[in-house]
Structure 1
């Protein structure tokens, strides 16, 4: 289903309502996850429910638009970190940035753990994010900052696992994930550890 306003210039009132909608959707999704209703978002934005569908044909389109904003921000952060002289610290900073978003945005966390990958825009965004993770991991590996058998795929899965490890105590210890990030990154660093078992994503 296509966006009914696609390709048309927006009037000033439509621009304002779209801005209110996106702000309301972003905060609602962050607080409640992707199951929040369009009616709740519309009420929060102070607009009619029908107005939502004039901007986004489906709820899934709205979710994708908001999630992709976060993904774009993380990709931009990753691109800047690729210029850092310290590749190991750059990789850690990238992992930290992803975890900060996961900790503050329930909908993004759902996407990061594979719950909402049906939207083509989200799939494309996560592929871009994975490409940045690959590039940062490659640089860190070449500098000897991380063990030679770790991959960008490992990094992205670890980030998700770190958040899930700390999630049960999120309400009382919202920064606990930082402890497990330190623990995981220590294990990622180069040293005399035994080789990792092979990882075949197809099996």
Structure 2
């Protein structure tokens, strides 16, 4: 081995070590503080300088993508499994139960799934895949008579994102309470069940929705406004 190769090999090992330290520190800090956490704090906890952090991750989006790659992949797999359900309502509820379990466990994952974060290509792809999963299941559930027919995909995504943003507030006092509120929310999306034979009183219908649904572009803009705004 040439002398120059011997000199550069330790640097490559150091670079791999520093990247691993930064990724693990970012995972911890994002889980505690959300994706708006200070990158300076991440570098400090990793025991490296800011220059080292930016050498490996030139912006927040690159760091988020590295930290949450496995989370994104797991969510995509949950969506694929949900689409396989014959009962669309069961698939939809199973999917959101899986997603919300992740939201409750990690503030960074909560930000990741319930807001729009620019500069993370794999997150953009996941949001698109998530929307398609929900769209397919909503349409099938409506055809099967288990979901209100006046709902759109954007209605469902907005309502669930709004609920998801409250989950971190429950962590210290009632960490499992999200299950109750997820059930209540999903129940509000269900179609009115068919009445029993010869009911004494006509069944009530859901109250009509008072405003038009968000468009896909409007939903994207709202979620971005909810998201982290720190850039360094």
Shared topology, TM-score over 0.5? yes
TM-score tier, shorter chain, comes to 0.7 to 0.9
Question: Cα 1:143–1:20, aligned 2, differ >3 Å: closer, same or farther?
Answer: farther
2: CA distance, partners of 1:40 / 1:177: 30
Question: Cα 1:20–1:120, aligned 2, differ >3 Å: closer, same or farther?
Answer: closer
2: CA distance, partners of 1:56 / 1:164: 27
Q: Which of 213, 221, 231 lines up with 1:199 in the alignment?
A: 213
With normalisation by structure 2, the TM-score equals 0.70
1:43-58 alignment runs, 5 A limit = 43-58=44-59
With normalisation by structure 1, the TM-score equals 0.78
Aligned pair count?
Answer: 193
SS of the equivalent of 2:53 reads helix
| 1:68 and 1:125 in contact (8 A); partners too | no
Which residue number corresponds to residue 3 of structure 1?
Answer: none
SS of the equivalent of 1:36 reads coil
Which residue number corresponds to residue 77 of structure 2?
Answer: 76
Which residue number corresponds to residue 126 of structure 1?
Answer: 127
Which residue number corresponds to residue 153 of structure 1?
Answer: 154
Question: Cα 1:37–1:177, aligned 2, differ >3 Å: closer, same or farther?
Answer: same
2: CA distance, partners of 1:25 / 1:166: 21
Question: Cα 1:113–1:80, aligned 2, differ >3 Å: closer, same or farther?
Answer: closer
Question: Cα 1:27–1:120, aligned 2, differ >3 Å: closer, same or farther?
Answer: closer
Q: Which runs of 4+ in 1 moved over 6 A?
A: none
| 1:82 and 1:136 in contact (8 A); partners too | yes
Bigger Rg, structure 1 or 2: 2
Which residue number corresponds to residue 91 of structure 2?
Answer: 90
SS of the equivalent of 1:174 reads coil
CA deviation map 1:11-60 (0-9, x unaligned) = 45534432332222122111111232223223333444333222211233
> Structure 2 regions of 5+ residues with no counterpart?
1-10, 193-204, 219-232
SS of the equivalent of 2:141 reads helix
Question: Cα 1:145–1:169, aligned 2, differ >3 Å: closer, same or farther?
Answer: same
2: CA distance, partners of 1:166 / 1:176: 8
What is the alpha-carbon root mean square deviation over aligned residues? 2.7
| 1:71 and 1:126 in contact (8 A); partners too | no
Aligned-pair distance for 1:68? 5.2
Question: Cα 1:23–1:140, aligned 2, differ >3 Å: closer, same or farther?
Answer: farther
